[in-house]
Structure 1
Amino acid sequence: MPMKKIFMFCLFAAIAVSCNDSPPVQQTTYTGSQKEAILNNILTRRSIRKYTTQQVSKAQIDTIMKSAIYAPSALNKQPWEVRVVQNPEILKEINQRFLNFAEGKEFQGSAAHYKEPGFSIFHNAPTLIVIARDKSSDISYLDSGIILQNILLSSHAIGLGTCPLGTLVPILNNPDNKDILELLNIPDGYEVAINISLGYPAEAPVAPKRFAQKVKIIE
């Protein structure tokens, strides 16, 4: 299918919900106060690197994106463009671009396993979120981080898993892959700031150690 047609399909086709290979990780319904629920959401959210095949629904995307665009930004300029990619052909092509770039290179973390069969830079999540920033604003990096956190927390609140994907950023911003940004209708003057895998979690990771000593109170 030609790239432009794939893009149109991605924009206008109905979202298909596939069957699970395995049931989602059991989610706990929180019954405390609103304040307690917010704090609980922040403290229990984890990066997910294993997903079921069940697709995220249009209603869920609407909830997450509404939460996303309510993120604060400097002077309310909202210097971001957000793309939600669910088309399997586009996801496959983006993953292949990473594999092409990665050949012969060394990586840390999960990207170090790129030579393994079935590797996916977005952990085989059925949905990929791309956040692009306005390059004319240095502070748009910070604003992109704020909208990122809104996406991570709102996704967790409705039982979905996410993982920020920094390794994919330079690949999408590589001039050789400009056609991908054009396919996603990223405007001129913008570049990818961060990406997020999104889907139903198939794991429940334990929180890694936090370093409380990095916080100092000056009285």
Structure 2
Amino acid sequence: MNETISTILRRRSVRSFLPDAIGQDELDQMLEAARYAPSAMNQQPWHFTVIRNPELLLKLEDNCKSAFLESNVAVLREVAKQEGFCVFYHAPLMVIISADPGAIAAQYDCTLAMENMMLAAVSLGIGSCWAHAVMMFHATEKGKAIFRELGLIFPEGHQPYAAAVFGWPEEPYPEAPPKNADCVTIME
């Protein structure tokens, strides 16, 4: 199996991180991989907001957790009530990718960039986990106000479409859960 496919098959959502910071060299490689993602009509509409500040991450964490507790979705409320629940799993780094919603395919472009970033991370031994709570929280008026209060301001007209946390995994990557083999139709 080639190295690229092996990396893709190794990627897992990591939910337990060491407190050690990710170095600038590793971050630069991950961001470069993200910028090389495909985008509709090569618009490259994305902007990458990198959060390394532990206090800022904790404040965002607390607010996202409160959004879970106030959610209309029962499973999110139940998860947030669990003792020790941590939305960002104590990861030392978060990246939020935003874009102008007027771009041809802003959501897809940002998502593709984040996947490239997550694959680059695993190739470097770094763990990652998608953080949809960021977009859920920012979609509320309270969330937008808290983002401004925290100084998390995106470029003019941008909104977040993808977010993930990154860090050195506390434990080895888990085995892959079984995958659905009956999800392909080939038309010949």
User: Do the structures match in fold with TM over 0.5?
Assistant: yes
Please say if 1:194 is aligned against 2:162.
yes
- Deviation at 1:127? 0.6
Q: Does structure 2 retain, via aligned residues, the 8 Å contact 1:121–1:168?
A: no
**In the alignment, structure 1 residue 108 sits paired with structure 2 residue 75:** yes
Structure 2: gaps of 5 or more residues: none
1:157 aligned partner: 123
Match of 1:141 in 2: 107
Deviation at 1:116, TM superposition (A): 3.7
The answer to whether the 8 A contact 1:68-1:150 is kept is yes
TM superposition score normalised by structure 1: 0.77
Over 3 Å counting, the alpha-carbon distance change for 1:131 and 1:151 in structure 2 is same
Q: Secondary structure at the match of 1:114?
A: helix
> What are structure 1's unaligned runs of at least 5 residues?
1-34
CA contact (8 A) 2:43 2:103 kept: no
Counting only pairs closer than 5 Å after superposition, residues 12-27 of structure 1 correspond to structure 2 as: none
| Distance of 2:176 and 2:75 partners within structure 1 | 19
* Counterpart-to-counterpart distance in 2, 1:184 and 1:108: 28
TM-score, with normalisation over the residues of structure 2?
0.88
In structure 1, C-alpha distance between the alignment counterparts of 2:44 and 2:147, rounded to whole Å: 19
Q: Work out whether residues 160 and 201 of structure 1, in 8 Å CA contact, stay in contact via their aligned partners in 2.
A: yes
Q: State how far apart, in whole Å, the 2-side matches of 1:73 and 1:101 are.
A: 31
**Correspondence list, 1:60-209, <5 A:** 60-105=26-71, 106-108=73-75, 112-182=78-148, 183-203=151-171, 204-209=173-178
C-alpha distance 127-138 of structure 1, shift in aligned 2 (>3 A): same
How many positions carry a matched residue from both structures?
A: 184
- Shift of residue 48 of structure 1? 0.6
Name the residue aligned to 1:17. none
Distance 1:102 1:78 in 2: 32
Question: What displacement does 1:201 show?
Answer: 0.8
Q: Give 1:99 shift.
A: 2.5
Which of the two has higher C-alpha Rg?
1
The partner residue of 2:10 within 40, 44, 50 is: 44
Using the alignment, how far apart are the partners of 1:212 and 1:133 within structure 2?
Answer: 34
1:194: how far off? 1.7
Q: Distance in 1 between matches of 2:170 and 2:79?
A: 19
